[in-house]
Structure 1
Amino acid sequence: MQPTVCLTFDFDAISVWLGTLGLATPTYVSRGEFAANVATPRILDLLEREGVTSTWYIPGLDVDTYPDVCKRIRDAGHEIGHHGYAHEGPTSLDETAERRVLERGLDALDRVLGVRPAGYRSPAFDLSANSTRLLAEYGFRYDSSMMARDFEMYRCRTGDVITTDGITFGPELDLVEVPVSWTLDDFPFLEFALMPPMVMPASTDVEGLTRRWLSDLDFMAEEVPHGVFTHTFHPQSIGRGSRIKVLERMIHRAKEHGARFSTVTDAVDAWQSRPAGSA
């Protein structure tokens, strides 16, 4: 069975620093500029050379700020998904505010790119109690923010009641979950951020990180061949200097396994069309 690999990129140029971390100094803004003006073109060139199609989750603020590079992503045939407006985490929003963010992101993607996204990825991989219900209401086909499985899709639920007195799971929605993992995300391992009194240290063992990622890919190809390997990259992290070679190595290893590179929506289509009772 041919394994499926979905390379995904969270294009959090300036919005991740501003919206999630509250950092708007010139230095942090410049890191967003690097993501948009240097790293993303570098990554797109690599994907074109390798013949790889991918999925990009783009906050509306970054679409509005960097329309030309976002249009290049679209025109190269890559999928574009929703990623908030200013990288706002839904868990800090009430339902009205969460709706507003969804709508602002949808407006930016439509107004600038003419795109109505099928998929959503939450900033910082977290959802509110309202998120999955709202995503289904707004017509999204899938979410890619949760972690109940590693390489296999499943249906999202709504209405879970989670307390120390007991847990009740709510009903499933017609919304597919494409699971992610912090261990397959480059940002926490590769980005340094100084946010007194907190420091986000970057790992210096990039080679060790690469070996772990390759081992995860090997495991899926060998043990879960019907699964989908979803890796999360950020242009400012993976597109800097020699780190672009890490992405290249991941692509080459996937090709050695005979993997099919897919957008997330195409992988969801394949999962939904599988014969009843199949894995």
Structure 2
Amino acid sequence: MEEKMYFLMTNDVEHHSIQLNREDPNIPDQIYNVGLPRLLELLSKYDVLSTFYFTGMFAEQSPESIELVKEYGHEIGCHGYDHSPFRAFDSLKYKEQIIELQRAKDAIEAIGGRISSFRAPALRINNDTVRALIETGFKTDSSIASQRFDGPMSFGSKNKLGWLYAPRNPYNMSYDSPTKKGNSGVIEIPISAALIPYIGTTMRISPTINRVLQKFIFYEAAKTGKPVVFLFHPNECLDIHGKVVTTRRTSNNLEYIFADVIRHRLKLKNLGNSSLKLLEEVLKSAKEYGFEFVNSEEYRKVLQKEHIQR
């Protein structure tokens, strides 16, 4: 009997405007009216069950977005309270992270019911995050991208160097380090990568590179049983209207050049309907390859069942 292969289609829902390179209070309405309907229709076409990680701020401003996602049967997860680079989890102390997590969780659960899955904004966490997740009742995390290398192209890149030696398969996180195995009880479900991340941004910047990367990721999954975890954003489904602005988000000149200017220009490629066409190619390929689409909570239960059977 062949072992099942699992594909986790994950979506981060936040205020970030790709067009303006910053948080934008107009984004929730645009996502609710345009981005989510487009994305949800595509996911339904391929019978994809996925996880939508919402920020607490987004939930407060657009509760109808959470209700819409739940109507389609998808899991609701937590993406912190806001997506500001100045409140990233890798810059917060233990007690500050607990406050941030609880605030976000309360805002989301008031609309969507109980949640247990977390992904940090910009994938930025530190050694205190595991204990903070336990304290606030989270059971899974998906903030580590094993063997992904961003260099200076993202904020928090120094802490992200730990990704290079993180386990590739899902693992119980260590109390002392999120990139090491341990017995914390929080299951890390790493985002797929092989130096280059398997995410919507890569897909849009270079569809050719993404297809090559996908072949390796799919082959590895078939050989090792490792799940495929693809990261996407509903704001990638939005078209550009009006002026493009590269907002400066850091006082560090090197970070500004790479993480703001260069990265922003790359992220502007293939947005809107072009992004949806490329995403459809990804989902169609996964379905034809034989993957079963599951959300983060369902995959956690799969792992628990396999552990019991062993």
**TM-score interval for Structure 1 and Structure 2 normalised by the shorter chain:** 0.7 to 0.9
Q: Aligned-pair distance for 1:91?
A: 1.3
Matched letter for residue 38 of structure 2: R
Residue equivalent to 1:185: 199
Instruction: Output one character per residue of 1:189-237: Cα deviation in whole Å (capped at 9) or x when no partner.
Output: 75xxxxxxxxxxxx3x3x224413532443234322x221010001112
Q: Name whichever structure is richer in strand by fraction.
A: 1
Matched, 1:85 2:48: no
- 1:154 paired residue among 157, 171, 181: 171
Structure 2 vs 1, CA of residues 242 and 137 (structure 1 numbering), >3 Å: closer, same or farther?
same
* Aligned-residue RMSD, C-alpha: 2.7
The TM-score with structure 1 as length reference comes to 0.79
**1:130 partner amino acid:** D
Q: Contact 1:217–1:254 (CA<8 Å) still a contact in 2?
A: no
CA distance in 1, matches of 2:73, 2:309: 33
Q: Distance in 2 between matches of 1:170 and 1:217?
A: 22
Unaligned runs of 5+ in 2: 147-165, 239-271
Contact 2:171 2:181 in 1 (8 A): no
Code of the residue aligned with 1:153 in structure 2: it is P
Aligned-partner Cα distance in 1 for 2:139–2:108: 16
- Please give the TM-score of this superposition, normalised by the length of structure 2: 0.72
Instruction: Tell me what 2:218 maps to.
Output: 218
Aligned residues: 248
| Cα separation, 1, equivalents of 2:97 and 2:123 | 15
From 265, 268, 278, the counterpart of 2:297? 265
CA, structure 1 residues 130+250, in 2 after alignment: closer, same or farther (shift >3 Å)? same
Whether the 8 Å contact between 1:40 and 1:235 is mirrored in structure 2 is yes
8 Å contact from structure 1 (residues 54, 79) kept in 2: yes
- Any stretches of 5+ residues in structure 1 without a counterpart? 163-168, 191-202
Q: Which residue in the other structure is 2:258 paired with?
A: none
Check conservation: 1:210, 1:246, Cα contact below 8 A.
no
Identical-pair percentage: 25
Show CA shifts across 1:113-132 (max 9, x none).
2x221111111112122110
Q: 1:46–1:248: 8 Å Cα contact kept in structure 2?
A: yes
Q: Tell me how far apart the structure 1 counterparts of residues 21 and 221 of structure 2 sit (CA, whole Å).
A: 39
Which residue is equivalent to 1:199? Answer: none
| Offset, 1:252 | 1.0
1:95 aligns with 2:102: no
| Residues 222/62 of structure 1: CA separation in 2 closer, same or farther (3 Å cut) | same
Deviation at 1:95, TM superposition (A): 2.4
Work out the CA distance in 2 between the residues paired with 1:137 and 1:37: 35
